[in-house]
Amino acid sequence: MRQSFVAKNPSVLVFLACLGLFTLGVSVLSEGMGIGLISTSFVKTLGKTLCLCLVAIAMDLVWGYAGILSLGHFAFFGLGGYMIGMWLMYARTEGIVAASLSNAEIPPTPDELRSAIANQIFGVVGSSDFPAIWVFAHSLPLQLALVVLVPGLLALVFGWLAFRSRVTGVYLSILTQAMTLALALYLFQNDSGLRGNNGLSGLQNIPGAEGVPQSVISVWFLWASAAALGLGYVIAAFVVSGKFGSVIRGIRDDEARVRFLGYSVEGYKLFVFTLTAVIAGIAGALYYPQAGIINPKEIAPIASIYLAVWVAIGGRGRLYGAVIGAALVSLLSTWFTGGRVPDLPLGFYTVSWVDWWQVLLGLSFVLVTLFAPKGIGGLFDLVAGRRAPDRHGADLGPDPGALREKEAER
Amino acid sequence: MRILLAALTFLCLVATAGAQDIAADGPAATPLQSLLKEHRAAIEQGARRGIGPAIEALRDSGLPEARLILEKWQARELWLRKADGLFFLAESAEGGYRLTDPATGEAAGSATRDEVIQIRPNSGIRAVLAGALVQFQLTDPNPAVRAAALDAIARRSEAGHLDALRAVLEDEPDPRLKARKARLERLLTISFDPDPDARIAAIEGFAGDIGVDVRAALNPLVATTRAVAPGEPPAGENIARRLSPGSEALPREAAYAMLVEAGLAPPRIGRAEIRAALAAHVEGGRVGGVPVAELNSDAARERAYAGLAAAGLVPAHLTEAGIDAALAAHAFYDRYAEADPRVTEAAADALAAIALMVGVNQMADLALDALSLASIYFLAAIGLAITFGVMRVINMAHGEFIMMGAYTGYVVQQFIPDYTISILVALPLAFAITFGAGVAMERLVIRWLYNRPLETLLATFGISIALQQLAKNIFGTQARPLTSPAWLDGSLVINDVVSISYIRIAIFVLALMFLGLFLFIMRRTRLGLEVRAVTQNPRMAASMGINPDRINMLTFGLGSGIAGVAGVAIGLYAKVTSELGQDYIVQSFMTVVVGGVGNIWGTLLGATLIGFLQKGIEWFNPSNTLAAQTYMILFIILFIQFRPRGIIALKGRAAGD
């Protein structure tokens, strides 16, 4: 008997309900739309966290379900941010420049306008011409298309090259890390056309919404992020629920057997890799207008590794686990490194959390990997009464490196 | 007799009186003083411009005291007595100065402060004086002074030095100084000899010589300036090449700008000028008959400007045809500053030959650089090659072990002030500490994850960020110095192009030593045998009485320990920070992956490939090391396409597929 999608995935409804309640609650408590209990900057932090949850879902799809430990998904996230940032920066600068030129005696020609904008944007890197990659920056629809196309194409080409030559496992992780590093180093150059290490800034000012206060814009972005997260969750749940999901889990557990069964393993992997890159790009495009600035440091390999950390702590192989991990760890990180946590006096030494949070995070990560491979999501199994079969110490999987049975039971 | 005596006395008296007389106005009579007196105005005035003849006259006078005077003048110890215009050396005494006659060295009475003026040459004049003094110093009995004089000539040479050098060339006893003098004489011949044949001979003698001094002497000869002349270039100019306007070397705009600058054509009216002119002539919302609001295109602005020009308010717009005609009527060319074409031709030929030699030597220098970079990568990667290659365990904290080694070196230097001893202590200590850390990590974390390589990656990453932050908490974020011993300072200079610092040589030697050590352990010891057995088949090895747990622990400790030693070496030439290891970790992984896992020769090849590749790419674009790294990583990604298992791939069951 064919079950409906929702019946097979009860967590989707629960998740959507929680997300809706959360968004509604924050809107009511916010400064811009409600009673003002939550500050605008915290609304932005929550909105950004939702975007991070979205990219964590992408990471969970590609790692927890398809078994590809990609250390490059933050590169796609950053690329999405750069693409939307180009339009935001261009349109805003255009407004400012047009206003200042309209006071001159002679109205400006289009060329003069364009070169004045270029001067304004690229003055910091000693250039006054638009690089070729800014050719679509004047148009919002085109840049929105690029948000999807650029990460998607990069993932398609990279994935095709990597999967075609059967690069798997740790090698693939290192290769994706190298890709991220190469991209970050490239963007750090001043002549990369994206303002070098200055990055793109002033992204929180939305062109065409100059009269709207930031407190309202922050709630808009919260809604947009929540909608994207909800949609992303449904798409991810749909992808992993049917036959397709079974195949990618099969690839994760034993790639060779799936290949022998006649499935085109490379095609499946490539699809998942590209899809998740696109999701990451969209998450980035929603994240950076809330952050206000993007620079190449955001793309550094360490960011992608943190993404893996979130998913691992939350529990990979289940979508809500990724969301919980990303939200919890990133909010805790913000809280601890923000310096608002009281110091812990030990008598002989005072633990200042700004300094010691990283140590705590690193060690807790080791502990989670060692003792709770299911992550926080594993707690739900305790509630549901699901338990892994007792194998009496025997090997859990068919092969070293394959995911264990108890993690793969869904 | 009496008369005779009286006459004698008289004579004596006269003689004494005469002598006294000479002593009284003695300085005035010496040729030195008369010479100085002749140039008194220039000397007293102390202007750089007028001083030349005075100094030259002194230098060429042939007087034995000339050198002393010049030296004293340079040292601000020369004084002028206002009353009679005589020059003295002086030292302060009670109530004024005690004067000494420069010619004889005899005391010449004293003077009050008001009676004498100190001659104070400014820095420009002192430099001229130094140049003049060189001639005397070249024959000084002390070889050090002669060498210093040669240095002075090499720094700023002038025409006069050539004759001076030639005069003393044959008498030089020291063969090394003689060779230097001869070389300098050839260089000065190029620059200053009036005879073109001699210059050409000297230039040709230097073909293929890569010294910086030769290039410095030759380059001014072939330097060109761009010039424009109506019709044909004037005869007698040494023309390097003719330029046609509109070519790549001389764009049309630039050519016309040259004409304007030379006053041969009226200035062109550009867009900015048109705009300014229009803005200045707005009348009632219209300019030249065109409404202001319509002036947002170039065509409308041209029309408005034409209107203004028709009204005589602005100069007429230059037509393109007019510009072409003006350009065609003039000749544009590059001319040499040097007038003799034969000399410039010889210099250009010599420079071409030199450029070839310099290129070859730069290649050699680049190869040395690349070799040292490769040895650094090899050192950083060899520990990783052991843990990743032999045990298939990926250790993201490897970089932090390198950092731990570097900090160990730093801490040891705080306790042992002698740098040589402290390095000798730090190397084994770093090995011991990181060995211990590696063993602890293997026991506590990694052995639980042997079947889950991806999770090892993440767990060791957790350790990596914890260790990094720990180092930040202990040592702070600023860089700590790890000072190398004095005998590692400086560099081995082979010629003006090729040089390599001793630290890099030491790192190269260290890398070779570790390669040898690794090969020895793996091939000649019991441990190596057991490690190879466990690598090939752990279960079979265990059934042969080998304890795989112990072997894994020792292997991991060994890899970590080598990382610690590499840390000390890397810390010697890079700043020790908590991010030191992070900077090397990706390159180290690349090295291992490119080389091929599980084979030390592969790691060596990988390090060599990456080192040479990075330096090679940097050579194409030296200003941009970021781009070099980007392209290198892209190359590696592509390389993996063709050899997914690295340069040297394991075959058969050991490959693990």
Distance from C-alpha of B25 to C-alpha of B160, rounded to nearest angstrom: 35
Quickly state the pLDDT bin for B26 (edges 50, 70, 90). low
Nearest CA in chain B to A360: B466
How far away is chain A from the Cα of B355, in angstroms, using its nearest Cα? 30
pLDDT at B20 over 80: no
Cβ within 8 Å, pair B451-A361: no
In this predicted model, what pLDDT tens digit does every residue of B102-117 receive, in sequence order? 777 777 777 777 777 7
Which of A28 and B31 is assigned the larger pLDDT? A28
Distance from C-alpha of B276 to C-alpha of B281, rounded to nearest angstrom: 9
DSSP at A61? I
Q: Residue ranges of the alpha helices (H) in A30-167?
A: 40-59, 73-101, 110-122, 140-164
Give the nearest partner residue to A369 out of B459, B624, B629, using CB atoms: B459
Which of B240 and B384 is assigned the larger pLDDT? B384
User: Percent of chain B at pLDDT above 90?
Assistant: 12
Quickly state the pLDDT bin for B24 (edges 50, 70, 90). very low
Which of A5 and B18 is assigned the larger pLDDT? A5
Quickly state the pLDDT bin for B319 (edges 50, 70, 90). confident
DSSP at A344? E
Structure tokens at A66: 């398809």
How far away is chain B from the Cα of A62, in angstroms, using its nearest Cα? 14
Residue range B460-487: average pLDDT?
88
Q: Which of residues 280-339 of A touch B (CB under 8 A)?
A: 301-302, 305, 308-309, 312
Q: Which of B517, B536, B646, B521 is nearest to B589 (CA)?
A: B646
* pLDDT for the residue A410: 39
pLDDT at B269 over 70: yes
Cβ within 8 Å, pair B644-A106: no
Q: Can you say whether residue B112 is alpha, beta or left, with left for phi > 0 and alpha for psi between -120 and 50 degrees?
A: beta
In this predicted model, what pLDDT tens digit does every residue of A191-215 receive, in sequence order? 788 888 889 988 888 888 888 888 8
Hey, where are the domains in chain A?
5-299
pLDDT at B358 over 90: no
Quickly state the pLDDT bin for B28 (edges 50, 70, 90). low
How far away is chain A from the Cα of B498, in angstroms, using its nearest Cα? 29
Most trustworthy range by pLDDT among A144-148, B368-372, B578-582: A144-148
* pLDDT for the residue B9: 55
Residue range B643-652: average pLDDT?
70
What residues contact residue B200 under an 8 Å CB cut-off, 6+ apart? Answer: B342, B343, B346
Mutant choice from B396, B400, B465 vs A, greatest count of A C-beta within 10 A: B465
Residue range B221-242: average pLDDT?
79
Mutant choice from A109, A125, A356 vs B, greatest count of B C-beta within 10 A: A109
Instruction: Please list the ranges in chain A whose pLDDT falls under 70.
Output: 1-3, 385-410
| DSSP SS3 for A332 | helix
pLDDT at B657 over 50: no
Give the nearest partner residue to A189 out of B458, B624, B642, using CB atoms: B624
Which of A292 and B223 is assigned the larger pLDDT? A292
Mutant choice from A63, A175, A336 vs B, greatest count of B C-beta within 10 A: A175
In this predicted model, what pLDDT tens digit does every residue of A259-280 receive, in sequence order? 999 999 999 999 999 999 999 9
Nearest CA in chain B to A307: B458
Q: Which of B351, B347, B333 is nearest to B221 (CA)?
A: B347
How far away is chain A from the Cα of B338, in angstroms, using its nearest Cα? 38
Nearest CA in chain A to B643: A165
How far away is chain B from the Cα of A178, in angstroms, using its nearest Cα? 6
Lowest mean pLDDT among A175-179, B30-34, B251-255: B30-34
Quickly state the pLDDT bin for B302 (edges 50, 70, 90). confident
Hey, is the C-beta of A126 within 8 angstroms of any chain B C-beta? no
Cβ within 8 Å, pair B458-A365: yes
- Cα dihedral across residues B168, B172, B177, B181: positive or negative: positive
Q: Residue ranges of the alpha helices (H) in B30-114?
A: 31-38, 40-45, 52-60, 66-74
Distance from C-alpha of B193 to C-alpha of B195, rounded to nearest angstrom: 5
Lowest mean pLDDT among B21-25, B175-179, B589-593: B21-25
Nearest CA in chain A to B476: A355
What single string gives the DSSP state of each residue in A266-326? HHHHHHHHHHHHHHHHHHHHHHHHHH-EE-GGGGSHHHHHHHHHHHHHH-TTSHHHHHHHH
- Cα dihedral across residues A62, A65, A67, A71: positive or negative: positive
Nearest CA in chain A to B291: A106
Hey, is the C-beta of A260 within 8 angstroms of any chain B C-beta? no
* pLDDT for the residue A406: 47
Inter-chain contacts counted by CB atoms under 8 A, chains A and B:
161
Nearest CA in chain A to B632: A182
Nearest CA in chain A to B452: A401
In this predicted model, what pLDDT tens digit does every residue of B545-560 receive, in sequence order? 999 889 989 989 999 9
Residue range B69-93: average pLDDT?
77
How far away is chain A from the Cα of B69, in angstroms, using its nearest Cα? 55
Quickly state the pLDDT bin for B4 (edges 50, 70, 90). low
Quickly state the pLDDT bin for B6 (edges 50, 70, 90). low
All residues of chain A having their beta carbon less than 8 Å from the beta carbon of residue B466 are: 358-359, 361-363, 366
* Mean of per-residue pLDDT scores for chain B: 80
Cβ within 8 Å, pair B638-A161: yes
Cβ within 8 Å, pair B466-A166: no
All residues of chain B having their beta carbon less than 8 Å from the beta carbon of residue A171 are: 593, 640, 644
How far away is chain B from the Cα of A39, in angstroms, using its nearest Cα? 31
Hey, is the C-beta of A189 within 8 angstroms of any chain B C-beta? yes
* pLDDT for the residue B405: 93
Mutant choice from B450, B454, B589 vs A, greatest count of A C-beta within 10 A: B454
All residues of chain B having their beta carbon less than 8 Å from the beta carbon of residue A259 are: none
* pLDDT for the residue A11: 82
Query: Do the beta carbons of residue B308 and residue B214 sit within 8 Å?
Result: no
Distance from C-alpha of A86 to C-alpha of A3, rounded to nearest angstrom: 45
User: What CATH number labels B360-655?
Assistant: 1.10.3470
Distance from C-alpha of A332 to C-alpha of B628, rounded to nearest angstrom: 38
Chain centroid to CA B546:
58
Hey, is the C-beta of A170 within 8 angstroms of any chain B C-beta? yes
pLDDT at B39 over 80: no
Hey, is the C-beta of A366 within 8 angstroms of any chain B C-beta? yes
Mutant choice from B447, B455, B587 vs A, greatest count of A C-beta within 10 A: B455
Helices and strands per DSSP (H, E), number in chain A: 15, 4
All residues of chain A having their beta carbon less than 8 Å from the beta carbon of residue B590 are: 174, 178
Residue range B71-85: average pLDDT?
77
Give the nearest partner residue to A174 out of B298, B465, B589, using CB atoms: B589
Give the nearest partner residue to B630 out of A110, A185, A301, using CB atoms: A185
How far away is chain A from the Cα of B448, in angstroms, using its nearest Cα? 7
Mutant choice from A297, A344, A358 vs B, greatest count of B C-beta within 10 A: A358
Environment class of B57 (CB within 10 Å of its CB; exposed 0-12, middle 13-18, buried 19+): middle
Which of B79 and B20 is assigned the larger pLDDT? B79
* pLDDT for the residue B122: 78
Nearest CA in chain A to B586: A178
**How many alpha carbons lie under 13 Å from residue A369 in its C-beta half-sphere?**
29
Cβ within 8 Å, pair A177-B589: yes
* pLDDT for the residue A236: 93
Give the nearest partner residue to B466 out of A108, A363, A404, using CB atoms: A363
Which of B82 and A223 is assigned the larger pLDDT? A223
Cβ within 8 Å, pair B454-A173: yes
Amino acid at position A116, single letter: A
